[in-house]
Amino acid sequence: MPSFAAQQSLFRAYDIRGPRQHFTTDFIQALGHAFAHLYQTAEYRDTSADMDALANVDPSNISRSNTDPHSISQQHILPNTINNTNKQSIVVIGYDVRCSSDDIAHTLATILAQHGLHVIQIGLVTTPMMAYWAAQYQGHGIMVTASHSAKDILGIKWLVNHQSPSCAEIQALYQQLVPPDTQLALTTAIGSLGHLPTEQVSHGYIDAIYHVFSQLYPLYPISGEQTCDKASPHHGQYSAAQRPCSDWRYAAPKLELTVVIDCMHGATSHIAQPLFQRFCQSVVMLNDTADGHFPLGNPDPTEPSRLKQLQQAVTTHKADIGLAFDGDGDRLMVVDENGKTVMPDHLLYLLAKSALCDSAPNPASTAVPQVLFDVKCSHHLPALLAELGAEPIVSRTGSSLMRQQMQHTDSRIVFAGELSGHFIFNDKRFIAYDDAMYAALRLLHGLAAQPDDATKTSLAAITQSLPTLVSTADHYLPVPYALTRERSIVTQLQVFCQYIQQLMDAACEQSDIAESQEDCLVNPTCSHTVANECSSCDCIAQQPAITLAQARQLLPIGTRLSCIDGVRLDFAHGFGVLRQSNTSHHLTARFAGDSLDNLKEVQNRFAALCRPFDHRLAEQIIAIAAE
């Protein structure tokens, strides 16, 4: 067996993630050497212009630890000097609450420092906090986390030059792994291994967010100790209570909101309360003790019934809103004042509205801002976004893929979101990363900026005013056996749908087709090429032929087909999507309609399309219940 063959399955589409038993000592050490090579060979980018963001960070507060005095310098890390003179890479490393995450992080940090890299350890943080601190230096960062996965799963995410790795780059890192007895010799360069104090890590992050909202909702600058009793332009939604203010900060009155927050024992546990108390009048905390055993279940707010405790707490405390964050703080789910979970589609719309309304106008530009959403979002969303003046763009699922699209120099994307609760603001006010706590604060301030009429500012009232949607959850299904070894079930379905659509297009162009021909069999073969496939579509030749009448029933005229990520079909009154999961060996499916009957109709069409390939899959699709 080749070295680390058992670990190959850990290298997935977005990150490294898998069962704890695969994270052996040899593997972690080999991974450390591979990361060292990655950061040593990363293209140097002069980020001296970005160092102004470090104005509130005192380099003298970066303390040092040292496990090997012969290879690791204990001198202070001075970012400007390192960037502009030595040009040695600075890597920020953090970890989540999982058992062993801290040990893995320390091992990686030590190996990177031994290779001559400058390492700044920031301890227990959320993944967005790691991204924030990485952005203060060179944009290099490693986060030991398995996000929302079960307690026995470990994982690692990373950034190079502010960017998440592509699937190909993740696989390339795996190819860099070598056994301990063949690893490259350490460099003669002197690295450093230090850490930022916990208080500075959290306070720097909180202050940066506070500064964003002082710009979005400017009141008045202050200096010295005084009270904050001046009127606010949003006086109807803010507390008039006086309280002491100091330093350079703006005296922003707190939002008159009672907020319940469920940290799910994850990485937000130590930071959510001080952050939200900075903005909200009343904050009620749930499960805010960091516990890598996750005693109440997986730290995944999208799981069915996972929000019951939050829903009950919202109604008990008569709160205005409930917020739930996943294990590493990059997913957000919301409960309204009635204890009802806000559909992720509606949440995406509200956050996109905030991004569009708060974007600084550019009179010199006529470009229409874009909003990115993944293929699992509902058929109503494009029209709603267009009403806001945005160009809706559908994307493959994966927040890292969305970030890569947003980082293009010519990008017009101001906001991106996923059904799974990842939301990214790209309005240059904060880091373009899926930060659940930051997104939640943008939502709260967006609601507070609504008209004073309580019926209009109620979250439930706002979502009820949106188009009716009956949908299933994002449902996981086992991957069925493919009829051909060369093609997955999803690829075969793509080919079949493309063929039917071509058939329907041809029939529409031939208006003289007799009605008697509706029942003629059509041999389902074609030479069309599926996206990301090089061979022809002859795999469906083995399937039963269909008639024109059957084709019309499966894909009525006007049906829109997308194959950018699985199969997505948009019908007149609903939509459905079936795709391969990027994080597990499952299919993911979601269906929605304007009514329950519309939803069932969509499911029946997908079942009919899948039945020639796998009868059991068709029955599983029909059996998925509405939320």
Say what the pLDDT of residue 207 is: 96
Same domain, 33 and 173: yes
Residue type, 412: R
Same domain, 444 and 297: yes
CB-CB contact of 321 with 336 (8 Å): yes
CATH of the domain at 573: 3.30.310.50
Say what the pLDDT of residue 235 is: 34
Say what the pLDDT of residue 363 is: 60
Same domain, 104 and 128: yes
Say what the pLDDT of residue 408 is: 74
The contacts found for 170-174 with CB under 8 angstroms, 24 or more apart, are 170/11, 170/12, 170/13, 170/14, 170/15, 170/16, 171/11, 173/11, 173/16, 173/31, 173/34, 173/35, 173/38, 174/4, 174/7, 174/8, 174/11
* Residue at 228 is within a domain: no
* Residue at 242 is within a domain: no
Q: Comparing C-alpha atoms, which of 99, 152, 145, 141 is closest to residue 117? A: 141
Q: What is the C-alpha separation between 420 and 432, in angstroms, rounded?
A: 17
pTM, to two decimals? 0.86
Same domain, 490 and 460: no
* Residue at 65 is within a domain: yes
Low-confidence ranges of the chain (pLDDT < 70): 1-2, 43-87, 183-189, 219-252, 360-365, 409, 450-457, 482-486, 509-545
- pLDDT tens sequence across 393-450: 999 998 888 888 887 767 799 999 999 999 999 988 999 999 999 999 999 998 887 6
Three-state SS sequence of 378-440? CCCHHHHHHHCCCEEEEECCCHHHHHHHHCCCCCCEEEEECCCCCEEECCCCCCCCECHHHHH
Same domain, 321 and 395: yes
Same domain, 266 and 392: yes
Q: What are phi and psi of 571, to 5 degrees?
A: -100, 180
Say what the pLDDT of residue 406 is: 83
Q: What is the C-alpha separation between 267 and 147, in angstroms, rounded?
A: 9
Same domain, 533 and 578: yes
Same domain, 292 and 188: no
Say what the pLDDT of residue 204 is: 97
CB-CB contact of 273 with 323 (8 Å): no
Same domain, 486 and 581: yes
* Residue at 124 is within a domain: yes
> Per the structure, how many domains does the chain have?
3
* Residue at 233 is within a domain: no
The contacts found for 451-454 with CB under 8 angstroms, 24 or more apart, are 452/236, 452/237
Task: Give the angle 281-284-287 at the CA atoms, nearest 5°.
Answer: 150
Of 445, 467, 489, which one is at a domain's C-terminal end?
Answer: 467
Same domain, 506 and 388: no
Say what the pLDDT of residue 382 is: 95
* Residue at 232 is within a domain: no
Residue range of the domain that includes 21:
5-196
* Residue at 446 is within a domain: yes
Q: What are phi and psi of 122, to 5 degrees?
A: -115, 5
CATH of the domain at 410: 3.40.120.10
Same domain, 20 and 158: yes
Of 423, 441, 467, which one is at a domain's C-terminal end?
Answer: 467
Of 467, 497, 518, which one is at a domain's C-terminal end?
Answer: 467
Q: Comparing C-alpha atoms, which of 101, 128, 117 is closest to residue 34? A: 117
Same domain, 533 and 454: no
Q: What is the C-alpha separation between 418 and 302, in angstroms, rounded?
A: 12
DSSP secondary structure of 467-515: PP-EEB--EEEEPPPPSSSSS-HHHHHHHHHHHHHHHHHHHHH-TT--G
* Residue at 337 is within a domain: yes
